[in-house]
Amino acid sequence: MFGLGKKRSKFGKFLDKHSITQIEIAEESGVNRNSISRLAKSDEHYPSMKSAKKIIKTLQKEGFDVDYKDFWDM
């Protein structure tokens, strides 16, 4: 099981629930793996609009009905 004992953000919990690894999302979206890790770890971190757009577009391409507001408050 992914994320055992780790604090996770809404984004991190989504990745865990759907068995998506941080490496997979980083490679598909073109967003740095360290950025994906930081975003999955804490709700206090927010992506740039450019990175968020890449992540959301990648998830939507994979068939998920998600939006920026589902993971990050602005």
Tokens matching residue 49: 């609009």
Rounded to 10°, the helix 22-29/49-61 angle is: 100
**Domain boundaries, given as residue ranges, for the chain:** 10-62
Residue 43 pLDDT greater than 90, yes or no: no
Which candidate, 22, 49, 53, 24, places its Cα nearest to that of 38? 22
pLDDT at 48: 92
pLDDT value at 74 more than 70: no
DSSP state of 19: T
Residue 14 burial by Cβ neighbours in a 10 Å radius (0-12, 13-18, 19+): middle
Q: Average pLDDT of 45-70?
A: 93
pTM over 0.95: no
